[in-house]
Structure 1
Amino acid sequence: MSKPVTPYSGVPQFTVKDYSSFFLAGALCCTVTHGAMTPIDVVKTRIQVDPALTGSSLIKGTRSIVANEGPSALLTGFGPTAVGYLVQGGAKFAGYEFWKTTFVRAVGGQEDAVKYRTAIYLGAASVAEFFADILLTPLEATRIRLVSERGYASGLVTGFTRLAREGGLRELYAGFLPILCKQIPYAIGQFTVNELCHELAYRAMSEETKRSLSPTHKFGISLGSGITAGCAAAVLSQPADTLLSQINKGHGPEGSMVHRLTVLAKQAGFKGLFAGLGPRMVMTAGLVAGQFLLYGWIKDALNAPPGVEIHKESDPTKA
């Protein structure tokens, strides 16, 4: 059953149930993928903050941690990772659908939105991520503290409680600015590059070819687009990701967050800001590709409608 459309050309009017489905699909796809990537994230974070592992490869860093601390160390921070990205993922994916639809309406409908599609992708991703990060930041601070300080706490509840008790809201949100600097470029790379990759792939096909695409071919396009988007997201957000790890470990001088970030960036230099990029590209390529695939499958299972399409090759009269 097709969704009712607004007075704007071809724009569906999503219901609360639709957005609930978007939220649930986004929450599940993010918590599953980020939870599965916890070992890689542990190694990446330790490479960024532990002088003994600086410059190590993913394999070398993993071997060192396992040898010195045991295999269980690779699952440090699993609790805050799973819970943090459960709420952040739901807010981000549902928010992206909401803001993309809102911006499409603002420019007059799908036909007019095609001309501004890149700006719409950038704006929707940025605004959705901003609100999602309000939910994520305290849990990300807890995760990084657990990973970077062995023995800090036994898990999510004790770690969050200790951080809140000792530092209050200021400590829980100490990384809000750097997490915005990290996550907004990440979301821009994730959503914008994925949209553009799909557009390029389908633009090269005839209408007959698109109609006859097999599930395997569609899966290949989604997988390739997700991997490319993941690599872009990693590169765009890597400097802020490094600074976030440093801030949450307590590094840097006293003063405003902007001052602390500036000093830490100068100390790290270009090479230091991109420390751990290799492991992180592996992680985010898998994360982003997995998230988009899971998001689509879960939406289908929930019988949720597709999002608004404003690709150049799409027919704007079809909702």
Structure 2
Amino acid sequence: MAEEYEYESLGSNTSMAANAIAGALAGIAEHGVMFPVDSIKTRMQVLSTHPAPYLQASLFRTMSHITMTEGTLSLWRGIQSVVLGAGPAHALYFATYEKAKEMFGGGGGGDGGWGELVGAASAGACATIASDALMNPFDVIKQRMQLPTTTPSNILRTFTTIYQTEGLRAFYISYPTTLTMTIPFQSIQFATYEFFRDKLNPGKGYDPTTHVLAGAMAGATAAAITTPLDTIKTLLQTRGTSTDPRIRQVNGLWQAATMIVDRYGWRGLVRGLKPRVLANMPSTAISWSVYEYFKWCMATEQATTL
């Protein structure tokens, strides 16, 4: 039982750096594996004056059109920005989560009741505020590179173009909306993950199957609930590429939401729901599995040195 206790309480027994390393590795693995599905989701959510018919169809029809007209590698465009940003952002994310969870009493030492779930949700919100501030510019660059283009680009060129044509504000215009989306997303994800992990594995020991299943259920639940806000965020982050003056002048969450509803009705707010859920189920499962694995490895190494 001592070994399980050390693993589960890693957040309070190890340094911030150890949690950050585990989080960085988890973040890169999470975003890298499911990046093509994320690219399809972005295409389906982008607001256009004359949307391509295939964007209104299924996920697989959208994917087929992109690969046939632009090549398979186009689905990976922008991944460099994710790799550069995801490592530091997730390092900050998980390190903040562990410390905040300890402070809010969600450290997993109790019976898995409402107090622990609220603590985990609150810790998830704190982690999100910190990590999104770092990740938001990288996400803007990523989504711009995911859009169809006839001119190959790279991170530096995309950054320079956005900065010169739209200014520094373009990298953070979606930040309030991002927080409005990701705080409930991460709170739901963390609370759901902790709930299912405790139900599937009451002993709280390291169990890869539990982490995969709990992570997948947490990711799917959080993704489905917050899709409308993600659609709004995509509009704000890609507005600079539109030729429609009204789209280019969108300034915030409510204005973006109103425009989407005007163009597509209320169903427009859930554009990209299927690929978003499909991407988040395995990516969240991967993220938690990698994170818990490295926590276990570090806890095991720590135990052998005592």
> Is residue 2:292 matched to residue 1:296?
yes
Note the residue ranges of structure 1 that are not aligned, 5 or more in a row: 3-10, 204-209, 307-319
> Is residue 2:216 matched to residue 1:227?
yes
Query: What is the CA distance between 1:190 and its match in structure 2?
Result: 2.0
- In structure 2, the CA distance between the partners of 1:13 and 1:127, relative to structure 1 (3 Å rule), is closer
- In structure 2, the CA distance between the partners of 1:171 and 1:151, relative to structure 1 (3 Å rule), is farther
What corresponds to 1:23 in structure 2? 20
Query: What is the CA distance between 1:14 and its match in structure 2?
Result: 3.6
What corresponds to 1:93 in structure 2? 94
Partners in 2 of 1:180 and 1:44 — Cα distance?
Answer: 19
> Is residue 2:246 matched to residue 1:245?
no
- In structure 2, the CA distance between the partners of 1:264 and 1:96, relative to structure 1 (3 Å rule), is farther
What corresponds to 1:263 in structure 2? 258
- One-letter amino acid matched to 1:297: Y
> Is residue 2:154 matched to residue 1:155?
yes
Note the residue ranges of structure 2 that are not aligned, 5 or more in a row: 3-8
CA contact (8 A) 2:112 2:195 kept: no
Offset from partner CA, 1:78-135 (integer Å, 9 cap, x none): 1112122222211111111111111129x9x956995522221221111110111000
The structure whose residues are more often helix, as a share, is: 2
- In structure 2, the CA distance between the partners of 1:271 and 1:13, relative to structure 1 (3 Å rule), is closer
Partners in 2 of 1:142 and 1:275 — Cα distance?
Answer: 21
- One-letter amino acid matched to 1:88: A
CA contact (8 A) 1:153 1:159 kept: no
- In structure 2, the CA distance between the partners of 1:97 and 1:248, relative to structure 1 (3 Å rule), is same
Partners in 2 of 1:164 and 1:72 — Cα distance?
Answer: 26
Return 179-188 or 21-30, whichever deviates more.
Answer: 179-188
What corresponds to 2:6 in structure 1? none
> Is residue 2:69 matched to residue 1:74?
no
Q: How many residues align?
A: 286
Partners in 1 of 2:163 and 2:301 — Cα distance?
Answer: 40
CA contact (8 A) 2:219 2:281 kept: yes
Query: Helix, strand or coil: the match of 2:15?
Result: helix
Partners in 2 of 1:115 and 1:189 — Cα distance?
Answer: 13
TM-score by length of 1: 0.80
Query: Helix, strand or coil: the match of 2:265?
Result: helix
TM-score by length of 2: 0.83
- In structure 2, the CA distance between the partners of 1:302 and 1:150, relative to structure 1 (3 Å rule), is farther
Partners in 2 of 1:18 and 1:173 — Cα distance?
Answer: 31
Partners in 1 of 2:253 and 2:65 — Cα distance?
Answer: 34
